[in-house]
């Protein structure tokens, strides 16, 4: 096996089981190393640290896999990783729920690869060079374990550019997913477009949070901002919301949401889908003096990196200020950030500022986080990204 030796002072994180080694930490490497090669990583004293996958183009030069010298990552090793990840999710799957994240990349020891289950279909996404070599093993093991009708790859995310990877979409096993795959989550039915939808087609990371927020929705007027295909909207309607206004800028999201309201047999007079920019729409509602009982703000990632955190904080603050303005005493705001760079304490501070600007006194009554099928590995805090606050206006 090819070898890499690290600089003397650059091995600490690797000993602490962090799965990334940056290119600057490498002191020596075998000359003919290629992206995707399995390598043994040693410290400056030639002590074995771990096995990893080398990547010649990424800032993350090695993704570490296994710290035990006797457990060489061969085909069986990969299959075991997939098996463990899938078995840990089995209890989430039943007649009320047939969608979840099966493999969450580094957090599940399968770096650079995500797999989501959507009923009879699985969608996979690769975001690191060097993972392609083992992709067929992952696909094959998923087939053995779950017998899906098809596995579709949706590798068309922007971060692939940093790895010099071109888009790579297509069927990897079995049938092409139909235009709409039907799934059920929290007992609610959804049409999911695996081939054309956003991300891999559905945001299953909000499963628990949708249910939690819906508990407060009975007989209430709800405003679901950044609704996508209706996750929060449908849970609120199911829980007996008097009325839900759902806002998203994407035409496909809004038309899917409309389909989903009908698919579940909800009375369409309780649902108002609006295709609009959320900031613009919130401003308009404010000018009209409209009020709601419960507001959900689930925007896309505003801070893709730490360097953009300050700018993003201002955007989160403005958005939340606009939302809070539409709530009266006793009103609830469920607000989220899926930016990994924004931690919960910073987010609380941002919301506190937004409330001050809105002239509202608030209480934090619950903290939301990502669900168990998006685990956070102790040595990899980078995997912790979704957080939220349930805020009550005093
Ligand atoms: N709450 C959703 C997921 C939201 S994902 C759920 O439970 O499934 C973020 C959504 O924000 C996407 O659907 C995207 O189309 C939408 N979006 C992004 N920028 C927007 C903007 N400025 N105004 C309105 N919607 C926007």
40-58 pLDDT, tens digit per residue, is: 999 999 999 999 999 988 8
Q: What is the mean pLDDT of the chain?
A: 95
Token reading at 234: 């449908």
H-type alpha helices, 160-292: 207-214, 231-238, 251-263, 278-288
Judge whether 135 lies within some domain. yes
Q: Is the CB of 250 under 6 A from ligand 1?
A: yes
- The C-alpha atoms of residue 181 and residue 116 are separated, in whole angstroms, by 13
Helix (H) or strand (E) holding 138: helix 132-146
Q: Are residues 170 and 225 in the same domain?
A: no
| Burial class of residue 318 (count of CB atoms within 10 Å of its CB; 0-12, 13-18, 19+) | middle
Q: Are residues 91 and 31 in the same domain?
A: no
Q: Is 227 in the pocket of ligand 1 (CB under 6 A)?
A: yes
What per-residue confidence (pLDDT) applies to 296? 99
| Lowest pLDDT segment from 42-46, 156-160, 364-368 | 156-160
Indicate if 211 and 311 belong to the same structural domain: yes
Check whether 198 has a pLDDT greater than 80: no
319 is a domain residue: yes
The CB of 20 under 6 Å from ligand 1? The reply is no
Looking at the fold, whether 223 and 288 belong to one and the same domain comes out as: yes
| Domain shared by 212 and 334, yes or no | yes
Closest C-alpha residue for ligand 1 atom 23:
277
pLDDT at position 158 over 90: no
CA dihedral 20, 381, 376, 10 (to 10 degrees): 30
Residue 255 shares a structural domain with residue 345: yes
Looking at the domain assignment, is residue 317 inside a domain?
Answer: yes
Tell me how far the alpha carbon of residue 161 lies from the centroid of ligand 1, in angstroms. 23
Tell how far the Cα of 134 is from the centroid of ligand 1, in angstroms. 33
Mean pLDDT of 318-340: 97
Q: Residue 200: pLDDT above 60?
A: no
Q: Which of 20, 45, 66 is the last residue of a domain?
A: 66
- φ/ψ of 274, rounded to 5, equals -130, 125
Residue 114, in any domain of the structure: yes
Q: Tell me, what CATH number does 28's domain have?
A: 2.30.130.10
pLDDT of residue 268: 97
Q: At which of 47, 66, 85 does a domain end?
A: 66
Q: Is residue 229 part of a domain?
A: yes
- pLDDT of residue 65 exceeding 60: yes
Number of domains the chain is built from: 3
Range of the domain at 225: 203-393
* Ligand 1 centroid to residue 251 C-alpha, Å: 11
Nearest CA to ligand 1 atom 22: 277
Residue 32 scores a pLDDT above 70: yes
Q: Which of 134, 154, 110, 115 is nearest to 36 (CA)?
A: 134
Residues 141 and 207 in one domain: no
Report whether pLDDT(232) > 90: yes
Q: How confident is the model at residue 217 (pLDDT cuts 50, 70, 90)?
A: very high
pLDDT of residue 235: 98
Does 379 fall in a domain? yes
Answer yes or no: is pLDDT of 384 > 70. Answer: yes
Asked whether residue 230 is assigned to any structural domain, the reply reads yes
Q: What is the pLDDT of residue 129?
A: 80
Say if residue 336 is in the same domain as residue 379.
Answer: yes
Confidence of residue 131 (pLDDT cuts 50, 70, 90): confident
CA of 138 from ligand 1 middle (Å) equals 31
Which pLDDT score is estimated for 116?
Answer: 96
Q: Whose CA is nearest to atom 7 of ligand 1?
A: 231
Whole-number Å distance between alpha carbons of 90 and 102:
9
What CATH number is associated with residue 280? 3.40.50.150
What's the confidence (pLDDT) of residue 16?
A: 96
CA distance 84 to 109: 10
Per cent of the chain over pLDDT 70 is 99
Judge whether 198 lies within some domain: no
CATH code of the domain containing 151: 3.30.750.80
**What mean pLDDT is predicted for residues 49-71?**
95
Instruction: Please tell me whether residues 311 and 166 are part of one structural domain.
Output: no
Check pLDDT > 80 for residue 142.
yes
Residue 201 pLDDT: 74
pLDDT of residue 88: 98
Do 169 and 208 belong together in one domain?
A: no
Q: Are residues 20 and 145 in the same domain?
A: no
Residue 391 in this model has a pLDDT that exceeds 70: yes
Q: Is residue 197's pLDDT more than 70? A: no
Ligand 1 atom nearest residue 298's Cα? 1
> Which residue owns the Cα nearest ligand 1 atom 9?
300
* pLDDT-based confidence at residue 193 (cuts at 50, 70, 90): confident
Domain boundary among 154, 174, 194: 174
Taking residues 347-351, what's their average pLDDT? 98
Span 86-95, mean pLDDT?
98
Q: 226 with 134, same domain?
A: no
């Amino acid at each position: 096996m090819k070898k890499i030796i690290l600089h003397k002072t650059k091995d600490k994180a690797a000993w602490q089981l962090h799965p990334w080694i940056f290119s600057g930490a490498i002191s020596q490497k075998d000359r003919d190393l290629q992206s995707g090669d399995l390598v043994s990583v040693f410290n400056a004293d030639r002590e074995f640290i771990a096995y990893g996958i080398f990547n010649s183009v990424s800032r993350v030069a090695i993704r570490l896999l296994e710290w035990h010298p006797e457990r060489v990552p061969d085909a069986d090793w990969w299959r075991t990783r997939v098996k463990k990840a899938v078995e840990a999710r089995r209890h989430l799957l039943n007649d009320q729920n047939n969608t979840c994240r099966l493999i969450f990349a580094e957090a599940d020891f399968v770096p650079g690869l995500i797999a989501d289950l959507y009923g009879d279909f699985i969608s996979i996404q690769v975001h690191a060079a060097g993972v392609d070599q083992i992709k067929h093993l992952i696909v094959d093991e998923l087939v053995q374990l779950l017998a899906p009708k098809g596995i579709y790859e949706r590798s068309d995310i922007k971060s692939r550019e940093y790895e010099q990877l071109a888009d790579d979409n297509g069927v990897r096993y079995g049938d092409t997913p139909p235009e709409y795959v039907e799934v059920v989550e929290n007992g609610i039915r959804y049409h999911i477009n695996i081939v054309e939808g956003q991300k891999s087609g559905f945001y299953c990371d909000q499963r628990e949070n949708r249910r939690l927020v819906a508990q407060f929705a009975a007989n209430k007027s709800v405003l679901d901002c950044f609704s996508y295909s209706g996750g929060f909207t449908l849970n609120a309607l199911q829980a007996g919301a008097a009325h839900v206004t759902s806002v998203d800028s994407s035409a496909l999201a809004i038309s899917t949401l409309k389909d989903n309201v009908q698919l579940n047999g909800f009375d369409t007079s309780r649902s108002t889908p609006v295709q609009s920019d959320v900031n613009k729409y919130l401003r308009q509602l404010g000018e009209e003096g409209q009020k709601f009982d419960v507001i959900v703000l689930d925007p896309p990632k505003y801070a893709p990196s730490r360097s953009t955190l300050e700018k993003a904080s201002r955007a989160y603050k403005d958005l939340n200020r606009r939302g809070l303005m539409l709530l009266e005493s006793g009103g609830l705001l469920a607000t989220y950030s899926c930016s990994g760079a924004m931690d919960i304490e910073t987010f609380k501070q941002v919301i506190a500022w937004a409330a001050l600007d809105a002239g509202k006194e608030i209480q934090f009554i619950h903290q939301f986080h990502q669900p168990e099928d998006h685990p956070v590995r102790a040595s990899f805090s980078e995997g912790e990204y979704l957080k939220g606050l349930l805020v009550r206006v005093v």
